[in-house]
Structure 1
C-alpha cells in the first residue's frame, strides 16, 4: 500500500461546481468534489475538461451515473451489487488521501442499516395480498413471493433468510407500493430467521488511486488493499464506468477491441442491441462451459475509447488485463449516455448443480483465492485530427514501443511480403484390423514432399516463403507433452528433418516447426492429468471440448485435449528448448502460447489469468532469445513484443449486431513491426480469392495457405474433417497469382506504419501509410468514383507518394 495521509481540500482553488484542485502538473489539473468524490480533469494545453461522471440525473439514475466504482458481490451465496454513490458516498463513508504520487479515495461500502423494527420479518396475509396487488411490476411481485413463505398456522408470511442487499430491495418495493412497514405487521420485531443478522451492515473497503503522468491520467486499484468481510465474495469490479460519457446530443463513436476493432455509433437506435461485452483474450477455458453459443471474435488488445466531436479519449489496461472485460452501452430509453469501460473478474465463479428428490438446484462455487494484483488503467486524450481510431492506434503503437519493447522490423526498402505456408505432417486416424479398432498415424506431407511444394512455389516466383510445419514429432499433430522430441519416422525421421532444414536454408526459406505447450493431446509417460493439468474450480482437470454447431452442446466424448497448468509450462518449455538444440532450430511456431490463456484453480496453488499471462510472457522471451524467430497464432497483446509473425490475426469482427463498423485497428498498430496474416485462403468461409486479396490490401496482411501434399479426402472421417480443402495442387495457381498481385502493391509499404484508415464511401476504404502512399479498395460489385478517379468493381487503386 502506498504511503498516504489524510487530504484536506480547501476552497482556495475550487470551481463553481464545488470541485477543488487536488493534483496538478505542467499539463493537467485534477479536481475532486469533496462531497461526491467525482473528479474533473483539465487539460491545460487547450482548456478541455474531462469528467469521471456526468453532472445531471437524480435518484436512481444518479446512483448509476454518479458512480466511480460499481461492485458485484455474493453474501452468503446470494448476489448483490454496490454503487459507490448509494453505498459509500451517500453514507459519508469515504476518505480522500494524499499519496507520494497522487490521490487515493478509499470507499467503504455498506447497505443502509436495517433494524429489526424496520424490516418486516412477518407480514399478515391480508396485508401481503394488498402489497402484491399494489406492487409496481410483475418482477416486484415475483421478488416478494420468492422472499416470503406462507405459514398457514399463523395466517401470515415470514421472511426467508436473505442478504442486506435483498432486504434493501424489499424495502424499496414496499416503499414504491405506497406502504409503510408498520402498516404491514405489528410483529415485525418478533421474528428473526435463523442465521439472519439484519442489525449489522457489511463493510467492503476499496481504494481508488489517481496519478497524473505527463499528459496522461493513470487510475489504479491495488486489490491487496481491498478489505472484504468474511461472509462476502467480491466478484466483479467496474472501474469508472461513466468516464468521458457522451450524452444524447453528441456525434461520434465508441471504439471496442472486437476482433480487428469495432466502432459503435453514438446515439444510434438499435432495438435489442444496446450493450456490448467481451472478455479480453477470449473466455477462460478453465471455467466450465456446457454449451457454447458465443461466436464472437476474440479481443486481443486491452484497449477501448470514445470519440465525440473533435476530441476523444483512449484507455489502455496496463495491469489486470488478464481478468478484464470491455463493456459498452449506447443511449437508450433507460439511460441518456453512451459509455465504454472495463470490468474486472476479481473472483471467478462456476455453477454447480445438485440433484435430489426429483429437484435440482444450481448455486455458485468459488475458488479459494481471489485476484490480488494491481489493476492499472491509463487514459490518453486526443484532439482534432488525432481524435479518431487512427489516432488511437498510433497512440497505442507508440505506447507499446516505449513501454513494452515493440520494435520495427528490419525489412529492406520495397522488400517482398511474406507468403505463409502451413503444411500438415502426420495426423491420427482410426483404423481396424479383424474388427479391432486402433489408431494409426497417416502422413499428409512428408519432408520430401515438402520440398516438392516449395519448389512449385519458387518456380512460380513466390518469394519470402515462411513455412510452418505441423505434426512433425511426438505422435504428429496431436502430439504428446512437448518436453522431448521424437521426430515422426513416417515423415522422414530425425535425419530427414535436419536435411530438410539445410535444404530450406539454401533456398532462403525460413521454416517454423510447430509446437503446442498448453494443449496436451495424448496421455503419455511424461504427463499426468492429475498432476499436471490445470483444474476447474470443481477440482477436475481442465479439458478443451468440441461443441455441436447445431445445438451448441458439448459433444459427448468430444474432449480435444487436456490443458497444461501454467505452473508447469516453464519446465516443459525448458526441456523442449534443450531437446530442440540438437536440431539447430532457428524458428518456432506456437499453436497456443501466444493466443490462449488459462487459469488454474488448483487448491493451494491457484494461478489466475494475470499470473498466467506473466508466466507465458517470460517463456516467450526465453524462446525468442534462445531459439530465434517466433510465429504465433492469434497474437494477444502481451505476446506482441516477441512475435515476428502472427497467423490467424483478426482481420474482421465477430458479427455482434451492436457493432456498426469493423476497422483494422489491430493491423494499424502492428504494420511495420510484426508481420501478420488472417485465416488461410483455402479454408475461408467463401473461398473467394478476390475478396481475400482486397482484404489483404486494405489491412496490409500477407497471404496464408494451409496445405497438404496428399488429397483432402485423407482427412475424411477423422477429427480433422474441417480441413476439407487442403491439397496444395487445388490452390497452387490461385495462391501464386494472388501473391504476385498483392506483392506488387504491398512491397511498397513493407516496414511502414499505417497512419490513417477511413471509409470514404459505401464499401470503399482507404489505408494511408507513412511517407504518403495510400491504397483505396472498392468492395462493391460496381465501379465507384473517388476524387475524380474511377475504381472498378471489386478493385483498388494505389496513390500518393511512392506509388
Structure 2
C-alpha cells in the first residue's frame, strides 16, 4: 500500500514537473512582453494633453465701429460684424451681406444663415466627411467672437463651432450676494440653486476639496479672501435655462454676469469641434483690404479646415437689381442678374488650374482661370476684387438668384489644408484621408476690393489695368509694335518607337532640321512677316517630350550646334527673336542615366508618395496608363534648377527662353522635410522670371498667368474665349482690355485649333496676334506616334493660307498693337465692337448671317471688319 502511494506520488511530481516545464517558455515570453510594455510606458512619459482651442466671446454692447479715409467710409455693426463700405464722392454703398436675407422666402433656414455670414468654413475628418459651418449661426448668433481695433484696422476673431449656448447665470458669486438673491426667491428656487451650486469656504473644505486646494484657488482666486458659491460643472442646458429665469426674475443683470464670469479663471474650451478664424479689415485709398492670416487659424488635428470663403456674399444683389456678375473665364465673362438659368450648373473654376502636386483618378473637365479677379456691376456702380495672397489656393464661384435663395453672388473659396485619399487594405472598401501637417508660416488670404463709379465692364477692366501698372511698374510699359506679332512654333523632333533588332526602342523622329527652320524663317520674312517670335520646340533631349533638363543635348539628326547657331544668328539679323522651348516642371521618359532618380528628385503628394502623373483618356476620362507612359512632377528646387539650365542654354546661343509650363502650370510639393506650398511656388516662379527679365533675357510663356505676364515678351496659347458654361451670358476681353499694348499675346495656333475661323475671329475681337505651328516634314511622318495634334502642322500645306490670313490681318490691325484697348461692346448678341485709342473700331460677326452695325458698317457672316 505504501509502495503504491509512493509510486502515485512520484508520478504526480513528474507530471507536475512536466507541466511547469511546459509553462516556462510562455512565461518567459509573457515576462518579456510585460517588460516591453513598461519600458514603452515609461519612455513615453506623460500622455499628451488633449488639444484645446480657445473660444472667443463678445461682451460689448451694440455699437458702430468705423474706418475712414478721404475716399471710403467703412462701418461695422458690432453685434453682427456685418458692414457697409460707402464711396464718399458718390454716396454709393456696398454691404457685406444682402439686406433682408433673414426674411428671404425663397431660402431655407440654412441658406439664410449663410447669407448673413462673413465666413464660410468647411472642415473634414480622416474619413473624408466634409461639413460646412457658417459663422452666423455658429459664431455671430452665439456671441462667440471678439473685435479688436487698432491704428487703421479692425480685426474680428471668430470662434466657429457647434458650441453650447451661453446662459446668463453666475458662474462664481460671493456668499453675501448669493444670500441676497436667494432672499428674493421662493423656497423651490432656493432649493434648486442649493443643489446646483457648491459652497467653497477655504477654512472649511471637504476632504476632496482639500486635496484639490491648489487647483481650486488657481481657478477661483477670490475664495482665498471670501466664501463663494460656484456653479457645478456639467449642469444640463434645461437646468441652466431655469436657473437663468430665476436669477433674471431676482434682478440679476448681464453686466453682473460678465463680472462674475471673470472670477472663474479656467480657460473656456469646447469639447466639440471649434475653429478660430480672424478677419482683418483695412482701407487703402480707394480700396478695401480684407485679410485672413493662416497663422491665426486654430483647429483640432482631427478636424482640419478644408475650405474657407471670406465675405461670400459681399455685394450680393436681389431680384429687383440690374447688373451682372463678372468671372475670369477665358478673357472674362458676364452672368446677368436673375437670368433664370437655374437648371444649369453654377459657375466654378480653379485659379491657375489644377495643382499637379495633388493626385486624381479621373479628369472630366479641367477648369482654369489665369488671372486673379472677379467682380460685380449693380445699378451703375461696380467693384472688382483682386485676389492677392492665397490666390493659388482659390477657386471662383458664382450663381444667380432662384436656385437656393433670391440673390446673385460671386466669391472666392480657398483650399486651406490639402489631402490625399488612400485605401486601408485590399480587404476593405473603406478609404482614409491624410492631410498636410499645416499651413505654411506667414501665409494667408488677402482680397482687395476696388470700387468704381461706373457699371461698365470696360471701366472695371481699366481699373484692373491701373492695379497691374501700380504693381509691376516699369515691367509693364507700352510696346512700339506697328505690325501684327506672329508666334511661329517650329517642331524639331518627336519621339517614335522603332524596332531595332526586333526590340522596340524610342528614338527621335526628325521633323524639321535646324537648317530647314532657318530656311522657313527666312522665307516668311521675305514674304512680309517681320514681327515674328520663333519658338523652337523639340530641339534637344529627345524631342518635344524631352528628357529631364539636367543637361542640354542637341538632337544630332537635326544638325550641329553650328547649324542651330546659324539659324538663330540669321533670325537675329532680321530683328526676329528666337526662343528655345523646354519643359522644366516634369521628368518625361527620364531615368538615372538622364540624371533623374525618382526617390530623391520627384515631388511628393500629401500621401508621401512620389508625384507620379498620367495623361487622361478623352473618352473614359480615366488614366491612360496603357497607351501613355506616366511621368513625374519634379521637386520644387529642381524645377528652379531646370529653369536656370534652360535659360543658360538659351543664353549660350544668344536666344530667348520659352517655358512650356512656367507661367502656365503651378504645383505644390508636399515633401515632408522641405515642403513648397503653391503660394511659395508662385512667388518663386515670378522672382525667377523677374531675374531673367532684369538680365535682359527675352521670355516666352504659355497661357499668361497674371503673376508672370509682366515679365514676358510674348504669351502664346492664351485661352481667349474659355469654356462654354451655360450659365454665362457674354464673353468679354476683360484681361485683354487691361494688358493690350503692354504685352503681346496670341491664342491657339490657327492651323492646329479645332475651329480656325472661330479662333481668328476671337483674335480680332480680343486684340491678339496670330500663332502658327509648323514642321517641314509631311503629317504622314506622324503615323504610329502619339502626336496627332500636329497633323495640321505641315508647312507646305498651310503656307499659302497662312500668308493670306496674315496679310489681311496685318494690313487692317497691325497698327493697333502699340495702343491700349479702350472700348468693347455687344452691338447685337452676335456682333461685337472693340475700340482702340486712335478710334479704330474692330467689328466681329460670329453669326452665319450678314449684320449691320449702328454706324452703318456691314459685317459679312463669320468675318471681321476694321473701321479707321
**TM over 0.5, shorter chain:** yes
Q: Which residue of 2 aligns with 1:785?
A: 852
CA apart distance, 1:796: 3.1
CA apart distance, 1:371: 4.5
* In structure 2, distance between residues paired with 1:510 and 1:205: 53
* In structure 2, distance between residues paired with 1:554 and 1:331: 38
Q: Which residue of 1 aligns with 2:160?
A: 109
2:490 is aligned with 1:423: yes
Q: Alpha carbons of 1:458 and 1:573: their partners in 2 closer, same or farther (altered >3 Å)?
A: closer
Q: Which residue of 2 aligns with 1:329?
A: 399
Q: Which residue of 1 aligns with 2:287?
A: 216
The more displaced of 237-246 and 95-104 is 95-104
* In structure 2, distance between residues paired with 1:701 and 1:19: 53
* In structure 1, distance between residues paired with 2:347 and 2:120: 17
2:449 is aligned with 1:382: no
Q: Alpha carbons of 1:230 and 1:725: their partners in 2 closer, same or farther (altered >3 Å)?
A: closer
* In structure 2, distance between residues paired with 1:455 and 1:525: 35
CA apart distance, 1:625: 2.6
Query: Secondary structure at the residue paired with 2:429?
Result: strand
CA apart distance, 1:84: 0.9
Q: Which residue of 2 aligns with 1:516?
A: 583
CA apart distance, 1:76: 5.6
Q: Alpha carbons of 1:202 and 1:214: their partners in 2 closer, same or farther (altered >3 Å)?
A: same
Q: Which residue of 1 aligns with 2:667?
A: 598
* In structure 1, distance between residues paired with 2:270 and 2:689: 54
Query: Secondary structure at the residue paired with 1:546?
Result: coil
Match 1:391 to one of 452, 459, 478: 459
Q: Which residue of 1 aligns with 2:417?
A: 347
1:393-792 pair list within 5 angstroms = 393-405=461-473, 407-409=475-477, 411-412=479-480, 415-523=482-590, 524-557=593-626, 558-585=628-655, 587-626=656-695, 628-688=697-757, 691-787=758-854, 788-792=856-860
Match 1:311 to one of 381, 392, 402: 381
CA apart distance, 1:720: 1.1
Asked whether the equivalents of residues 6 and 98 of structure 1 are also in contact (C-alpha less than 8 Å), the reply is no
| Runs of at least 5 residues in structure 1 that lack an aligned partner in the other structure | 11-17, 116-170, 172-197
Match 1:238 to one of 309, 312, 325: 309
Q: Which residue of 2 aligns with 1:41?
A: 85
Q: Alpha carbons of 1:53 and 1:721: their partners in 2 closer, same or farther (altered >3 Å)?
A: same
* In structure 1, distance between residues paired with 2:853 and 2:604: 57
* In structure 2, distance between residues paired with 1:791 and 1:571: 51
Q: Which residue of 1 aligns with 2:134?
A: 83
Number of residue pairs matched?
Answer: 700
Asked whether the equivalents of residues 73 and 235 of structure 1 are also in contact (C-alpha less than 8 Å), the reply is yes
* In structure 2, distance between residues paired with 1:559 and 1:272: 40
RMSD across aligned positions (CA): 2.3
Query: Secondary structure at the residue paired with 2:614?
Result: strand
Asked whether the equivalents of residues 9 and 20 of structure 1 are also in contact (C-alpha less than 8 Å), the reply is no
Query: Secondary structure at the residue paired with 2:789?
Result: coil
Q: Which residue of 1 aligns with 2:349?
A: 278
Match 1:56 to one of 74, 79, 100: 100
Deviations 1:261-282 (A, max 9, x none): 1111111111432521111000
Q: Alpha carbons of 1:536 and 1:315: their partners in 2 closer, same or farther (altered >3 Å)?
A: same
Query: Secondary structure at the residue paired with 1:498?
Result: helix
Asked whether the equivalents of residues 533 and 564 of structure 1 are also in contact (C-alpha less than 8 Å), the reply is yes
Asked whether the equivalents of residues 824 and 835 of structure 2 are also in contact (C-alpha less than 8 Å), the reply is yes
Asked whether the equivalents of residues 114 and 199 of structure 1 are also in contact (C-alpha less than 8 Å), the reply is no
Match 1:73 to one of 123, 129, 133: 123
The more displaced of 618-627 and 658-667 is 618-627
Q: TM-score, normalised by structure 1?
A: 0.84
Q: Alpha carbons of 1:272 and 1:285: their partners in 2 closer, same or farther (altered >3 Å)?
A: farther
Q: Which residue of 2 aligns with 1:201?
A: 272
Deviations 1:751-789 (A, max 9, x none): 111112111113100001123222112222222221233
Give the strand-richer structure, 1 or 2. Answer: 1
* In structure 2, distance between residues paired with 1:576 and 1:681: 27
CA apart distance, 1:329: 1.5
Q: Alpha carbons of 1:199 and 1:661: their partners in 2 closer, same or farther (altered >3 Å)?
A: closer
CA apart distance, 1:579: 4.3
Asked whether the equivalents of residues 673 and 751 of structure 1 are also in contact (C-alpha less than 8 Å), the reply is yes
Deviations 1:211-231 (A, max 9, x none): 011111110111111122333
* In structure 2, distance between residues paired with 1:624 and 1:505: 18
* In structure 1, distance between residues paired with 2:285 and 2:648: 45
* In structure 1, distance between residues paired with 2:437 and 2:652: 43
Match 1:97 to one of 148, 164, 167: 148
Greater Rg over alpha carbons, structure: 2
Query: Secondary structure at the residue paired with 1:642?
Result: coil
1:291-302 pair list within 5 angstroms = 291-296=362-367, 298-302=368-372
Query: Secondary structure at the residue paired with 1:613?
Result: helix
2:862 is aligned with 1:794: yes
Q: Which residue of 2 aligns with 1:261?
A: 332
Asked whether the equivalents of residues 715 and 721 of structure 1 are also in contact (C-alpha less than 8 Å), the reply is yes
Deviations 1:280-303 (A, max 9, x none): 00011221111110154x200011
* In structure 1, distance between residues paired with 2:426 and 2:543: 45
Asked whether the equivalents of residues 57 and 145 of structure 2 are also in contact (C-alpha less than 8 Å), the reply is no
CA apart distance, 1:560: 4.8
Query: Secondary structure at the residue paired with 1:655?
Result: coil
* In structure 2, distance between residues paired with 1:96 and 1:398: 33
* In structure 1, distance between residues paired with 2:702 and 2:284: 35
Q: Alpha carbons of 1:454 and 1:565: their partners in 2 closer, same or farther (altered >3 Å)?
A: same
* In structure 2, distance between residues paired with 1:578 and 1:381: 44
Asked whether the equivalents of residues 260 and 663 of structure 1 are also in contact (C-alpha less than 8 Å), the reply is yes
Query: Secondary structure at the residue paired with 1:554?
Result: coil
